[in-house]
Each structure stands twice: as structure tokens, then as C-alpha cells.
């Protein structure tokens, strides 16, 4: 039975701590987690992690059934990142040998923290990122104010001032008014007579004018003949008086 083996206890509060076991016994790990009975306490998953040129096998022990308000607040790596554990959990570690077999070895909180980072795909150093952001040159600082919006952005086809946006809105209203005027013009045009009606009226007016001219000519000829006949009768009367 291995002796003086270090394991990591993950308390329900999410805090990790190192624990050294004089005589390691997998079946009694539930006691190290504060449980009185081993009911529902078992190995939940395993991770294979390569660290500093060595390959490790980390095992997680815990309960997935328990009482309310005893939930473990620690965020475990996949594939148990969405599994809810109850009470404290235990982490043990084994080291791969040259013959591909695994031998139990100690696991510390610091060692688990490095493995934890690898299992999550690495973490971004926020402090280093913030420093890099401060060192970056502001490209807009050298741009004249007249080429930037009120909010400090570069004017282009996508970013415009809010005032320009209002002007665009006014243009839309103007265009809509223009459309209304076009509609009214169309209504006025519809009230105008058709060309066919104009042609018929012109023909009728021409006919009436011709009839008027004919009647005028006939009246003038009749009056002329009447005047001729009248003058002839007067001359005849004068001749008769002379003969008498």
C-alpha cells in the first residue's frame, strides 16, 4: 500500500487544498472528503494531462447525489464542467511509466493548477493583455477632427454623424412629397379629354362652320337676286308713266 501520497481536496466552497495520506486507500477516500458513508461516492472521471514532458492520469472522486445547499461550487474541466457535485471531492494522480503503465504519485495544489489550465485550453493573462493594449498606438489620434464624427470615429461610408442621419431622413420625406405631387399630376392628366374626343369635336366644329358659310352665301345670293328684281320692276313702272 503506497505511503505518504499527496492528493487534492476540493471543498464544497470551491477552495482547493493539499492533503498527505500516510497509507493511500482508494476505497477510503470518502472519509478524506468528510463523508461518513461511501454511499454514492465513486470515481466520476479521469483526465490525461501532459505536463513538463511527463504524462499524468488524474482521477476525480465525488458524489453527484446529495442534499440541497451542499452543492460544490468548483468549476471542474470538461467533460464534467456541467455536472453538479455535492460536498467535497478528491483528486488523485498517477504517472505514466516507460512501459505505458501508471504508478500512483503525489499531486499538489500548484501542480493541479497547471493541469487545470491545460485542461481548459489555457488562460489569457489579463494583466499582460492590458499592458499590450496600453502600448498600442491610437491610429485615430493623428486624424484631423473634421474627418472624425462627434463620437471620435473616422468618417466613412458606414459611420456618419447623427445629424447627417437626420438629414437623410428629411430627404426621404421630400421624396415622398414629390411622389404625392406626381400622383396629383397623374390625377389631373386623367381629367383631361382624350385626343380622340378632341378630334371629334374639331370635326364637328368644322362642319358647323362650313354649314354656316353655305347658308351665308345662299342668303347673300337671294338678297342680291331680290334687289335685282326689285330694281327691274321700278324701271318698268317709270317707263309706263312716260308712255302715258
pLDDT at 20 over 50: yes
User: Is residue 224's pLDDT more than 50?
Assistant: no
**Which pLDDT does position 227 carry in this prediction?**
46
Structurally, the chain folds into a number of domains equal to 1
Strand ranges in the chain using DSSP code E only, listed in sequence order: 3-10, 16-23, 42-51, 54-63, 86-96, 102-105
Q: Is 239 part of a structural domain of the chain?
A: no
In a domain, 133, yes or no: no
The rounded distance, in Å, linking the Cα atoms of 200 and 20 is 118
In whole angstroms, what separates CA 102 from the centre of its chain? 52
Q: Check residue 171 and give its pLDDT.
A: 45
Q: How buried is 19 (Cβ within 10 angstroms: 0-12 exposed, 13-18 middle, 19+ buried)?
A: middle
**47 part of a folded domain:** yes
Rounded to 5 degrees, what are φ and ψ at 55?
A: -110, 130
* 95 assigned to some structural domain: yes
Considering the domain boundaries, does residue 208 fall inside one?
no
Q: Is residue 240 part of a domain?
A: no
The DSSP code for 36 is S
Amino acid at each position: 500500500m503506497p505511503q505518504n501520497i499527496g492528493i487534492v481536496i476540493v471543498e464544497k466552497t470551491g477552495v482547493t487544498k493539499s492533503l498527505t495520506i500516510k497509507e493511500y486507500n482508494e476505497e477510503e477516500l470518502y472519509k478524506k472528503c468528510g463523508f461518513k458513508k461511501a454511499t454514492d461516492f465513486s470515481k466520476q472521471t479521469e483526465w490525461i494531462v501532459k505536463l513538463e514532458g511527463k504524462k499524468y492520469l488524474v482521477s476525480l472522486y465525488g458524489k453527484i447525489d446529495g442534499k440541497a445547499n451542499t452543492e460544490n461550487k468548483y468549476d471542474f474541466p470538461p467533460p464534467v464542467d456541467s455536472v453538479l457535485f455535492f460536498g467535497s471531492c478528491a483528486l488523485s494522480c498517477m504517472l505514466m511509466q516507460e512501459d505505458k503503465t501508471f504508478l500512483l504519485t503525489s499531486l499538489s495544489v500548484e501542480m493541479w493548477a497547471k493541469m487545470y489550465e491545460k485542461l481548459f485550453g489555457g488562460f489569457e493573462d489579463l494583466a499582460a493583455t492590458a499592458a499590450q493594449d496600453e502600448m498600442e498606438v491610437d491610429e485615430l489620434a493623428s486624424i484631423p477632427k473634421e474627418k472624425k464624427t462627434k463620437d471620435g470615429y473616422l468618417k466613412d461610408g458606414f459611420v456618419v454623424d447623427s445629424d447627417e442621419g437626420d438629414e437623410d431622413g428629411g430627404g426621404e420625406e421630400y421624396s415622398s412629397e414629390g411622389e404625392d405631387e406626381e400622383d396629383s399630376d397623374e390625377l389631373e392628366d386623367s381629367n383631361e379629354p382624350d385626343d380622340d374626343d378632341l378630334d371629334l369635336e374639331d370635326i364637328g366644329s368644322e362642319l358647323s362652320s362650313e354649314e354656316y358659310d353655305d347658308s351665308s352665301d345662299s342668303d347673300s345670293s337671294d338678297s342680291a337676286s331680290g334687289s335685282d328684281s326689285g330694281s327691274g320692276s321700278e324701271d318698268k313702272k317709270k317707263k309706263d308713266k312716260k308712255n302715258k
